[in-house]
Structure 1
Amino acid sequence: MRFTQSFAPALLVLAGVAQAASSWGFDDGTLSVVAKKGGAGVKEKITSKSPLSKPVTLGSTDTLKLVLSATDNGKGKRPHQAFLVLKQQDTGLEAPFPLTVKETGKAVVQISHKDLPVQFLLASEPLQASVVIGSFGSAKPLDTPVFSVNIETDPAIPPPAYEKPVRYGKKAEIHHIFRPDPKSPPAVISVVFALAVVAALPALFVGWLLLGANVNHLTKAIGTAPISHAAFFGSIVAMEFVFFLYFTTWNLFQALPVLIGVSTVTILSGSKALGEVQRRRLAGER
């Protein structure tokens, strides 16, 4: 029973502390729109209780200025964060503008057209302006709309261009169109290789004469190793024929397997055919 009697007053004390928790607000709010060319400006008193009933207009050469005193539970104090937030109603796009705040809570911010995003300059509806004040501790932050502003552009100046940013999402299907495979190699390459072959034939005949080639040994060579010489000579002719087909109709994937097979025959038969020629040369036959 004693515990109940002592615990009840404690609850009342805690409830009183919760009710006395401070909250952020502002006093002495003044909104002014000053024209650069000295035209008639606008000056309004604002409070955190109710926003202005009519929107103010911010022209292309005007400057919007907001002055207020941030308060914590009615006393002037510097908060950790203080912003004037402009919001586009139809898209939800927001742009915060920080207030410069002194230790006494006196805060000020100025906005002109050059400070606004392109989307705001193209907005057809008034922007909602809210004051956001908050700090560390248990004090309740403030986030309340205070006025609306209509952005007015100069009709003599073309409106700024705006392109929507690329977003991640489903895109239209891309159909790749590849070029058809070439039917023949470039003419320049064919001409270069043809001239190289033609130029090599005289050099081959001159080399045979200088080295003392003797066609009289052809019968003896074929008689000694007929399969090796026939396969070696046939593989060389076959390789030239494969190159001809590659340059005319075949592609690389068709020519490569055949070239591998022909090259294998050339290596195996050539080693035996040239070995037979070497043996005759070592024996003194010319």
Structure 2
Amino acid sequence: MRLSQSVSSVLLLATASIAQAASSWSFDEGLVSIAARKGADGVKEKLNAKTPLSKPISLGSSDALKVALTAKDNGKGKRPHQLFVVLKDKDSGLEAPFPLTTKESGKAVVQITQKDIPVQLLVATKPLEVSIVIGSFGSAQAYNSRVFDVQIKTDPTAPAPSYEKPVRYGPKPEIHHIFRADPQSPPKIISLFFAAAVVATVPALFLAWLILGANVNHLSKAISAAPLSHASFFGSIVAMEFVFFMYYTSWNLFQMLPVAGVVGVVTVLSGTKALGEVQSRRLAGER
């Protein structure tokens, strides 16, 4: 009893394996033809699902390559989910698929001209591999096999197709940066002109003080009341002008900013006390 059950199990597994192996896609009634231009003989060759053609087929610039077949699932004509003729460059591995127009009975056909073929394949020096791909939903094994080769013959009188390889991600040549030259100072004549204009404002300042009635007698009172504050305030203003002069002539920005920051702090602290002293005298009625 156990022996009969074991034999039955083995037979069932073998039958299932054979059925699964036999269920696969293929094609029959395959035919490839070249519809040549007027005055030239066409080409017709039968296609075999197991053995590719021994010689490549030539496709001229005005020719049309036609592939017709009947797709079959386990020997029965049937429309698959996918049915393509694929052209492949042997060197680069680039492929171009062409879907076949398929009926419910499995009969399919496609027509290809050089206008339909990508330029990357037109410039190939070797014959292109032509494969047929058949597949669908279900457990049936798909079909993908080379059936023949095609040699592209371009028109010698027409410009040769050109192709530039796309930019790919990868190492590039080293880039050497060329930085622009350091900024130059303006011409000396312009600098002298504006320096003279600034110096000319000093007499104008003293003249304005005389016209407005500035009281110089308070200078001694201010210095005696807050000598350090007034001296520091005036000195910080002169020092700031010196900082700007050095920045203009030789210093860079990183040399000028720290010094300007220190001088600015002195100006604020001393100026607050110095101007506060002036305010106190004015509030006392002194003019």
TM-score, reference length from structure 2: 0.89
- How has the CA–CA distance of structure 1 residues 38 and 255 changed in structure 2, closer, same or farther, with 3 Å as cutoff? farther
Report how far residue 132 of structure 1 moved: 1.0
**Conservation of the 8 A alpha-carbon contact between 1:184 and 1:249:** no
**Cα deviation, residue 121, structure 1:** 1.0
Q: 2: distance between equivalents of 1:36 and 1:204?
A: 100
Secondary structure of the residue aligned to 2:16 is helix
Aligned to 1:49: 50
SS at match of 1:215: coil
**Residues 18-62 of structure 1 deviation map (CA, whole Å, 9 limit, x = unaligned):** 223322111111111223556432222112121112111112222
Kindly report the root-mean-square deviation, in angstroms, between the aligned alpha carbons of the 2 structures.
Answer: 2.7
Residues of 2 paired with 1:93 and 1:42: CA distance? 26
Q: How has the CA–CA distance of structure 1 residues 33 and 243 changed in structure 2, closer, same or farther, with 3 Å as cutoff?
A: same
| Structure 2 spans left out of the alignment, 5+ residues | none
- For residues 107 and 195 of structure 1, the distance between their equivalents in structure 2, rounded to whole angstroms, comes to 95
Residue 222 of structure 1 and its aligned partner are, at CA, apart by: 1.6
Tell me: CA distance 1:233–1:80, structure 2 relative to 1, closer, same or farther (3 Å). Answer: same
Q: 1:162 offset after TM fit, Å?
A: 1.9
Q: What SS does the aligned partner of 1:168 have?
A: coil
- 1:22 and 2:18 matched: no
Q: Distance in 1 between matches of 2:187 and 2:168?
A: 44
Match of 1:257 in 2: 258
Deviates more, 1:177-186 or 1:77-86: 177-186
Residue in structure 1 matched with residue 6 of structure 2 by the alignment: 7
Contact 1:183/1:249, CA 8 A, preserved across alignment = no
- Could you tell me which residue of structure 2 aligns to residue 89 of structure 1? 90
Q: Is the 8 A contact 2:57 2:149 kept in 1?
A: yes
Tell me, in whole angstroms, the C-alpha distance in 1 between the residues paired with 2:200 and 2:130: 87
TM-score, normalised to structure 1, is 0.89
Q: Which residue of 2 aligns with 1:150?
A: 151
What is the aligned partner in structure 1 of residue 136 from structure 2?
A: 135
Residues 183 and 248 in structure 1, CA contact (< 8 A), matched pair in contact too:
no
Distance 1:139-1:250 versus aligned 2 partners, 3 A rule: same
Alignment partners' CA distance in 2, 1:193 and 1:259: 22
103 and 256 in structure 1: CA distance in 2 versus 1, 3 angstrom threshold: same
Is the 1:80–1:134 Cα contact (8 Å) retained in structure 2? Answer: yes
Paired residue secondary structure (1:114): helix
**Structure 1: segments with no counterpart, 5+ residues:** none
2:277 match: 276
